[in-house]
């Protein structure tokens, strides 16, 4: 072997075995390489993932740390070298994330062919590890010196730094990771570190390339939705500073069956005890535990950090509280992240607390428990370096510290849920009371239409019917409108629909089958006739019939008209008629009717048409919807202003017409939904047989 070649202290077989057991995914391995940079006193580590060819991805990791001289390279290839033993001071030892010198295996886990260049004040050397050298499993992999690395934008930038290390990993297989997983890499990488000490000015800059454009480096930042936390506890800021946003006391909204759709809660925060132990774990049986002084085997312990519980973990309402909330198969905020020496040690602690309940999945927090990796005590990290020996007393102590905090937060969230339920029940009771009042008022109006019934009988009937609404019988509280029309007359239905929407009506308050760009009626599992039947038979649905010879010639329209006739009196539905002669007899009963079509066979927004639209169609529909809105306590819809026209002589003197007093909104909607189609519509209507 060439004298300049530097062999690793393990064989290929041993390194491959170790590498596959140490890391569960490429992102964990990358975090180890980032940690190596910070342990070399880097203030910034850059990570460039070129995933344009996922099977043969290229990853550059470089830093502005101290770099390595030739002696440093000899140390680099020693697997198991304890960096803390070589630390110059206690502060440096405590700052180091690594302990056993195996983080370098992350490079071998990711790639069996990589370049390494490192530079400090004394040297600047470049090396390569070749995959082909590993054909003999007993052979030791080795670093071979090279003249230079292939040129790249990243290398050009790194060369401007005074010192540091540049690592290029070739043929990294990311084929098992979808685009979403790669996009989530930056967030997951940020969660691997706490940066919670005097060196918190450190940063990670990440760039992920999947297309031709190289993109820009962006800070790997945590996406903790602090504004979505309902309750939180935080320790005094000693070892682990508490994020400033956690101290912000603000209001947040939780989905609830209330008029606004949400329950407003003000976040509450308390101090987290750092030494209070839960008796569930029998810590009294742990030898050499001094609970009063907070030491184990003479080494002080203290729980640092913060733990909170989310108000909701449903993505949409949570993002309304805090847009940073993210939750998907690649990123889960509901976890308790445990850090030791500033690096993520475990995110599985919640499952080890012996707690069950819905709100356990709402917990998020970041804590630090340094005694788990104190050099004065034995190493208890598991073989994969991503957790600890669960049987060690220190882990038991940690659980005993964390469990009461989590239980308190869950209990407080449960109590909040109970308050929301009480508010919902109180609102439901109020809704039912208002619904009964509305029903009683409507019943009074309905009985007035029956002149043949004596007044005393009406009062008696009214009392009997309204009293039936006691107990389990509750009035309907959902009020809606149904626009019954032929598809050929859709322009007039569109006019009414969009004017109601303009006034604030919601889409689910209005049903009609010609609703633009809406296919919900076709996606219903029931036949259209069943959909229409449900829309009509609801006692709180006000029907507006758009009658015409098209309506009279439609089987569905006649079905709708017949259902309305059978379930309502003439006063309980509205009509907008194209012409009088086309109104089905059972919908008019011989009463005086208004028609859009004038004697000249034209339709226009003349004064009587305008007034009829406002006073006999639009405002009655809005009033009907407002009854339902007043019952449930939501904002009522504004009515359109009725117009009182000046006398003709006064209009003439003012140089105005009736149209000058129209609402511009109604005029613009008429022009957009009716006027532009009137020519073709009238030609077809007056010159053809009825359309079905």
Residue 151 has pLDDT above 80, yes or no: yes
List, in order of start, the domains of the chain with CATH numbers.
6-218 (3.30.565.10), 226-419 (no CATH), 480-686 (no CATH)
What is the model's pLDDT at position 84? 45
Distance CA 394, CA 492 (A): 75
- For residues 116 and 29, is the Cβ–Cβ distance under 8 A? no
- The answer to whether 370 touches 394, Cβ cutoff 8 Å, is no
Structure tokens at 135: 């054909």
- As a whole-number percent, the residues of the chain with pLDDT over 70 amount to 79
Place of tokens 């370049």: 115
Residue 396 predicted with pLDDT over 70? yes
Token code pair at residue 314: 């449903």
Question: Phi and psi of 9, rounded to 5°?
Answer: -85, -5
Report residue 408 as tokens.
């308190």
Strand partners, 234: 271, 306
Mean pLDDT of 275-279: 78
Map tokens 């030609």 to a residue. Answer: 683
SS (H, E, C) 634-669: CCCCCCCCCCCCCCHHHHHHHCCCHHHHCCHHHHHH
pLDDT the model gives residue 89: 47
| pLDDT over 70 at 465, yes or no | no
DSSP string, 423-467: HHHHHHHHHHHHHHHHHHHHHHHHHHT-TTS-HHHHHHHHHHHHH
**How crowded is residue 222: how many other Cβ atoms within 10 Å of its Cβ?**
17
Instruction: Give the confidence band of 316 by pLDDT, cuts at 50, 70, 90.
Output: very high
pTM over 0.75: no
Question: Among 615, 650, 622, which residue's Cα sits nearest to residue 638?
Answer: 622
Q: Tell me the pLDDT tens digit for each residue of 592-612.
A: 789 999 988 899 999 999 999
Sheet containing 229-234, strands listed edge to edge, beginning at the edge strand earlier in sequence: 268-271, 229-234, 304-310, 363-368, 336-340, 343-346
3 state SS of 300: strand
Integer Cα distance of 124 and 166 in angstroms: 11
Instruction: Give residue 622's region: left, alpha or beta (phi > 0; psi -120 to 50).
Output: alpha
Say if residue 495's pLDDT is above 90: yes
CA angle 29, 30, 33 (to 5 degrees): 95
Other Cβ atoms within 10 Å of 158 Cβ, number: 20
Per-residue pLDDT band at 487 (split at 50, 70, 90)? confident
Phi then psi dihedrals of residue 217, to 5 deg: -75, 135
Q: Which residues contact 221 (CB under 8 A, 6 or more apart)?
A: 186, 187, 190
Mean pLDDT across the stretch 14-31? 73
Query: How far apart are alpha carbons 401 and 178 in whole angstroms?
Result: 38
As a whole-number percent, the residues of the chain with pLDDT over 90 amount to 32
């Amino acid at each position: 072997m060439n004298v300049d070649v530097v062999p690793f202290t393990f064989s290929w077989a041993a390194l491959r075995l170790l590498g596959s057991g140490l890391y569960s995914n490429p992102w964990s391995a990358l975090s180890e390489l980032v940690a190596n940079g910070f342990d070399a006193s880097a203030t910034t580590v850059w990570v460039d993932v070129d995933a344009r060819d996922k099977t043969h991805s290229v990853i550059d990791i470089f830093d502005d740390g101290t770099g390595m001289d030739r002696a440093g390279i000899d140390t680099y290839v020693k697997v198991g070298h304890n960096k803390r033993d070589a630390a110059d001071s206690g502060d440096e030892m405590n700052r180091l994330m690594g302990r056993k010198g195996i983080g370098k295996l992350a490079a071998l886990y990711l790639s069996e062919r990589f370049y390494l260049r490192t530079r400090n004040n004394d040297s600047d050397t470049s090396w390569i590890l070749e995959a082909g050298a590993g054909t003999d499993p007993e052979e030791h992999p080795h670093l071979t010196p090279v003249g230079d690395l292939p040129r790249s934008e990243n290398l050009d930038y790194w060369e401007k730094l005074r010192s540091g290390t540049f690592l290029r990993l070739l043929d990294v297989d990311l084929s098992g990771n979808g685009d979403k997983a790669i996009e989530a890499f930056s967030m997951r990488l940020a969660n691997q570190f706490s940066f919670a000490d005097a060196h918190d000015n450190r940063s990670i800059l990440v760039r992920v390339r999947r297309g031709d454009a190289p993109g820009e480096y962006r800070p790997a930042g945590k996406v903790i939705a602090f504004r979505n936390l309902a309750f939180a506890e935080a320790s005094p800021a000693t070892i682990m500073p508490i994020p400033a946003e956690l101290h912000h006391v603000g209001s947040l909204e939780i989905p609830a069956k209330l008029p606004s759709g949400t329950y407003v809660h003000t976040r509450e925060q308390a101090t987290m005890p750092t030494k209070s132990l839960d008796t569930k774990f029998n810590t009294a049986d742990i030898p050499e535990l001094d609970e009063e002084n907070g030491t184990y085997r003479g080494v002080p312990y203290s729980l640092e950090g913060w733990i909170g519980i989310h108000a909701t973990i449903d993505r949409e309402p949570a993002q309304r509280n805090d847009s940073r909330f993210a939750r998907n198969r690649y990123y889960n905020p509901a976890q308790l992240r445990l850090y030791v020496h500033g690096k993520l040690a475990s995110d599985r602690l919640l499952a080890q607390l012996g707690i069950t309940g819905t709100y356990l999945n709402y917990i998020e927090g970041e804590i630090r428990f340094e005694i788990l990796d104190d050099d004065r005590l034995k190493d208890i990290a598991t073989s994969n370096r991503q957790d600890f020996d669960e049987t060690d007393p220190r882990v038991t102590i940690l659980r005993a510290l964390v469990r009461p905090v989590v239980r308190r937060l869950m209990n407080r969230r449960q109590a909040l849920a109970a308050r929301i339920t009480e508010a919902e029940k109180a609102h439901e009771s109020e809704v039912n009371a208002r619904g009964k009042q509305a029903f009683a008022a409507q019943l009074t109006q309905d009985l007035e239409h029956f002149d043949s019934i004596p007044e005393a009988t009406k009062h008696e009937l009214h009392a009997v019917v309204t009293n039936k609404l006691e107990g389990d019988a509750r009035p309907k509280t959902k009020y809606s409108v149904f626009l019954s029309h032929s598809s050929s007359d859709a322009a007039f239905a569109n006019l009414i629909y969009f004017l109601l929407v303009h006034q604030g009506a919601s889409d689910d308050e209005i049903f009609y089958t010609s609703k633009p760009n809406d296919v919900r009626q076709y996606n219903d599992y029931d036949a259209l006739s069943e959909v229409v039947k449900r829309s009509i038979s609801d006692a709180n649905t006000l029907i507006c019939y758009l009658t015409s010879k098209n309506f009279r010639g439609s089987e569905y329209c006649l079905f709708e008209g017949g259902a309305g006739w059978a379930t309502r009196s003439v006063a309980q539905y509205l009509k907008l008629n194209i012409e009088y002669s086309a109104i089905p007899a059972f919908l008019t009963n011989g009463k005086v009717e208004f028609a859009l079509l004038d004697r000249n066979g034209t339709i226009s927004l003349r004064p009587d048409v305008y007034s009829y639209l406002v006073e006999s169609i639009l405002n009655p529909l809005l009033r009907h919807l407002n009854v339902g809105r007043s019952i449930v306590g939501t904002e009522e819809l504004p009515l359109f202003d009725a117009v009182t026209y000046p006398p003709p002589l006064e209009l003439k003197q003012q140089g105005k017409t009736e149209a000058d007093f129209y609402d511009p909104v109604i005029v613009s909607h008429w022009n957009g939904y009716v006027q532009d189609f009137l020519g073709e519509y009238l030609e077809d209507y007056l010159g053809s047989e009825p359309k079905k």
